[in-house]
Every structure is written in C-alpha cells, then in structure tokens.
Structure 1
Amino acid sequence: MKIVQISDTHLTAAGGPTEAGFRMLAAHLNEQVRPDVVVHSGDVQVLHPDDAADRARSRELLDLIDAPLLVVPGNHDVGMPGVDAWAGLVVTDARVAAHEAVFGPDHWRHDTDEAVLIGVDSELLGSGLQREADQWRWLEQTLVELPAGKPVLLFLHKPLWSVSDEPVDHQVDVGPVARDRLLALLEGVELRAVGCGHLHRYRRTQRANALEVWAPATAFLAAGEDSLPDAHEELGYVEYTVADGAVTAEFALVPGMPQLTTAEVPQIAEAIEAMTAEAAAV
C-alpha cells in the first residue's frame, strides 16, 4: 500500500507560485506515483482562516488529485490554541466549522486492508473548546475499537513530540499535556507512524515502534534562522509504504518544482498586509 502525505500548501485565491507548484505536485502524483490515498496535514490555505475565497480556491486545487484525499486542518486553516496564537488567530468553533464544510471532518478514521489511518485536529488540543472534548471522546472510543495487530498511522498538523527546548512566541507542537494524554491512548494500538507538517521541513525519527515524520511543505521553505537539527529543508512530499505489517517513509521530490522562499511568493506579503489592515480597522 502506498500513502502520500503532503503539507503546508498555502494556497490562495490570488494564485501565484504556490498554486503553480501544487499543480506540478498533483500532476506528478496522478501520473507517476499513483498513491492509494493522499493525506494533507494542514495549512491548506495561505494565511488567514477566515478568507472564504482562499478556502474555496484551495478546495478546487485539491480536487486535481485523483487519489482519495483526507485533510486535517492547520493553524492557517482554523487558527491555533493559546493566548500567543500567531497574528492573534485563535482557533474557534466557527473557523473549524467553516473548514469542515469545505474539506470534510477535522478528525477522522480511514480503514484499508493494510492499515488504519487516524486524523486528529492538533489545533483543538489545549483550546478548551467543546470541540476539543468531543475529539478526545471520539479518540478514546475509536482507538479501543481498532482491529488488533493492524498498523496505525496517525496524522496531525503540529508535531506530537517536542520540537525544541528553546522558548518560542507561539505554539510549535501540541504541548506536553496533550502529548502525554494522546500517547497514553495510543499505547493500546499498533502505532507505526506519526506524520505532521507545520515546520516546512522533512525529518524522520524513530520513536519506540513508530516513525515520527515531519512532512516538508510544498509551498515555500522555512526561514533559515529557524533551522532545526537533522531536518531536511527542501520542498517535496512523503511517501509511505505499508507491507506485511511494516511501515516505511521516504522524502520525495517533485521533478521541476522550484525551491521557493517566502520572498519569492509575493502573495504572502499581500496576505500579511491585508491582515494588518483588517486588524487596524477593528
């Protein structure tokens, strides 16, 4: 079985380089890779979760992928938890509902003959919203119902394990409280991989019996000053293979895809300018 994970596409109604790169990705997956399923691990749209035009255009572009597609939201799709949320974009019920109306449930279970895929909305974890409590209840029930011995792959936007000991000005992983609770629930299943996005870098780390996989972005590279140990800074995607109960994960390039920085995506600056103007008008 072949599973492809894509992440951080940052698509916008304004088009531009992130759309051009995504079109190359979709064509490559359809014509060359032909995965059994594709998982998008969040930050589908460019920056602001309330931009309905960005959301609609992102949906149109995701539909270019022929394989079944599953999506978990990122912070730019629904906001993030915490008082220090980036640009003040805090996760809300309305933002999650708007995302679900276009991309489907923010958490899900997908069964195949070879494995079970579980998607979790990391942006709810630590939010205190009723939706977080509902997701925890769903997880508790779902994980105990999984078939014994079948490999489980978990997907979410933010890394499950701590990214850095250095202080940061907003949440970069799910945090220790949610991490411990989720890992405790996962002890009873055959967890073989945890795939996330958010960091715009690829890294594969062995965590007991499971692979922790940071998926690269398809949109643009992360800022150089934010480099992290053992991380591969290149645009691309992750290809998982599930065979005989074992799971492997490999970084893959899209032939011809340019390795863009944020400076080469003018739509990023335009979106930030629009957000700044909107905040000033409130």
Structure 2
Amino acid sequence: MKIVQISDTHLTAAGGPTEESFRLLADHLNTTVRPDLVVHSGDIQVLHPDDAGDREHSRQLLDLVDAPLLVIPGNHDVGMPGNNAWAGLVVTDERIAAHESVFGPGHWRHDIDTVTVIGINSELLGSNLQREADQWRWLQQTLEDIGRDRPVLLFLHKPLWAVSEVPTDHQLDVGPVARDRLLSLLGEVDLRAVGSGHLHCHRQTARGAALEVWAPATAFLASDGESLPETRQELGYIEYDVTDADVTASFCAVPGLAQRTQHDVPEIAKAIEAMTAAV
C-alpha cells in the first residue's frame, strides 16, 4: 500500500509557477504513482488565510488528484498561534471555519488496510481557542480507541520535535508544551511515522520506533540563509510504503519539476504587497 504526502503547495488564484508545479505533480501521481491515499500537510494556499479566491482555486486544483485526498491546515491556511505570528496572521475560529468549509475537518482519523492515519491541526496548539481543547479531547479518545493493535501514522503541518535550538522570529515546530503532551498521548499507540511540512526541505530521523519525516514543498525551496543544515533542498513529495505493518518512507522527485525559490515566484511578492496594502 502506498500513502503519499505532499506539502506546501502555496497555490493562488493568480496561477503562476506554483500552479504549474502542482499540475505536474497531480499528473505524475495519477499516471505513474497511483497511491492509495494522499495527505496534504498544509500551506495549501499561497500566503493569506483570508483570501477566499485562493482558497476556492486551491480546492479546485486539489481535485485534480484522482486518489482519495485528506488535508490538514498550515499557518497560511488558518493563521499561526503565538504573539509572533508571521505578518500578524494569528489563528482564529473564523479562519479555521472558512478553511474547513472548503477542505473539511482540520483533524481526522482514516483507517486504511492495516494502518490508521491521523491528521491534526498544529496551528491550534498553543492557541488557547476552544477548538484546541476540543482537538485534544478528540485525539485522546481516538488514540485510546486505536490501542496498540494497529500501526499509526500521524500528520501535522509543523514538526513535532524541536527543529533548532537557535531562537527564531516565527514558530518552526509545535513547541515544548504541545510536544510533551502529544508524545505522552502517542505513547499509548504503535506510532510508526510522523509526517510534517512547513520547512520546505526534507529530512528523515529515527525517533525510537517511529520515523520523523519532514516533507519537501512542491512550491518553492527555502531562500538562501533560511535553509536548515543536514537537509535535502529539493522539491518533491514523500511516499510511505506499508507492507504487513512495516512502514518505510522515501523522498520522491517529480520529473520535470523546476527547482525554484520564492524569488522565482512573482505571485509571492504580489501577495505580500497586497497584504501590506491591506494593513
């Protein structure tokens, strides 16, 4: 069984290179890979969670993928928790509701063959919204129901484990409080993989019996000076192979996909300009 993780597509109603890349990816998945399930780990739309046009256009593009597709939100889809949210775009009930009205629930459980796939909204963690408490309650009940009989794959937008010891302006991972609580709950199941996005690069690390997988973006690479050490700086996707409860994860390239940074995507600059003008 093949499960594909895609991430950080940054699609916009203005079209451009990120849409070109996604159309190439969708065709590759449909004609060559033919996965049993696709998970999008967030930052579906280009930058601003309040842009309904980007949201609707992104939904239409995701529908190009033939396989069943499940979505979890990223910070550019619903906003970010904390006082230093990028561009001041803080996660709110309204932004989450708008996202879920188009893409479906921000957290979910999906049983497929011998494994259980779980997606959660990392942008709720530390938000102090009622939705965060509701998600914690749901997750605890769900993991208790699964027990240790089925391997579990968890997906979220931001990495679960700490990314860097160096302080950053914006949140790179879920933070220590949420991490400790999540790991405590996940200790009750047979966790085999944790897939995340957000960082626009690939890395795979063993965390006990589980694989920590940073999925690459499909839209653009991290800019010079923003890339993390010991990572693969290449656009692509992740393929999880599940065979008799054994789970492996592999980086996969998309033939013909141009390796761009955000400076090669003029729609990013236009979106930032529009956001700045609206403030």
CA shift for structure 1 position 230: 1.7
1:95 match? 95
Distance 2:122 2:94 in 1: 16
Which moved further from structure 2: 241-250 or 51-60?
241-250
Distance 1:150 1:141 in 2: 15
Aligned pairs (5 A) from 1:61-100: 61-100=61-100
1:150 match? 150
1:235 match? 235
1:167 match? 167
Question: Does residue 46 in structure 1 map to residue 43 in structure 2?
Answer: no
User: Which amino acid counterpart does residue 32 of structure 1 have in structure 2?
Assistant: T
Aligned pairs (5 A) from 1:263-278: 263-278=263-278
1:139 match? 139
Which residues of structure 1 form unaligned runs of 5+?
none
> How big is each residue's C-alpha offset from its partner over 1:172-226, in whole Å with a ceiling of 9 and x where there is no partner?
1000000000000000100000000000001000000000000000000001212
Distance 1:195 1:25 in 2: 19
Aligned pairs (5 A) from 1:12-51: 12-51=12-51
> How big is each residue's C-alpha offset from its partner over 1:46-102, in whole Å with a ceiling of 9 and x where there is no partner?
000000000000000000000000000000000000010000000000000000000
SS for the counterpart of 1:80 is: coil
SS for the counterpart of 1:23 is: helix
CA shift for structure 1 position 41: 0.1
1:195 match? 195
In 1, are the aligned partners of 2:147 and 2:188 still within 8 Å (CA)? no
User: Which amino acid counterpart does residue 92 of structure 2 have in structure 1?
Assistant: T
In 1, are the aligned partners of 2:107 and 2:118 still within 8 Å (CA)? yes
In 1, are the aligned partners of 2:148 and 2:188 still within 8 Å (CA)? no
Distance 1:113 1:15 in 2: 37
Distance 1:139 1:175 in 2: 18
User: Which amino acid counterpart does residue 77 of structure 1 have in structure 2?
Assistant: D
SS for the counterpart of 1:132 is: helix
2:215 match? 215
1:115 match? 115
Distance 2:199 2:156 in 1: 12
Distance 2:245 2:81 in 1: 35
CA shift for structure 1 position 227: 2.4
Distance 1:148 1:234 in 2: 35
> How big is each residue's C-alpha offset from its partner over 1:213-248, in whole Å with a ceiling of 9 and x where there is no partner?
000000000012122222101000000001111110
What TM-score comes out, normalization by structure 2 length? 0.99
Distance 2:108 2:170 in 1: 26
Aligned length: 279
CA shift for structure 1 position 147: 4.9
SS for the counterpart of 2:225 is: helix
1:262 match? 262
Distance 2:269 2:181 in 1: 38
SS for the counterpart of 2:58 is: helix
Distance 1:227 1:138 in 2: 35
CA shift for structure 1 position 5: 0.1
Distance 1:271 1:172 in 2: 22
User: Which amino acid counterpart does residue 95 of structure 1 have in structure 2?
Assistant: R
SS for the counterpart of 1:9 is: coil
Distance 1:81 1:161 in 2: 17
Distance 2:18 2:188 in 1: 40
> How big is each residue's C-alpha offset from its partner over 1:109-144, in whole Å with a ceiling of 9 and x where there is no partner?
000112100001000000000000000000010000
**Runs of 4+ residues over 3 Å off in structure 1:** none
Question: Does residue 182 in structure 1 map to residue 179 in structure 2?
Answer: no
Which residues of structure 2 form unaligned runs of 5+?
none
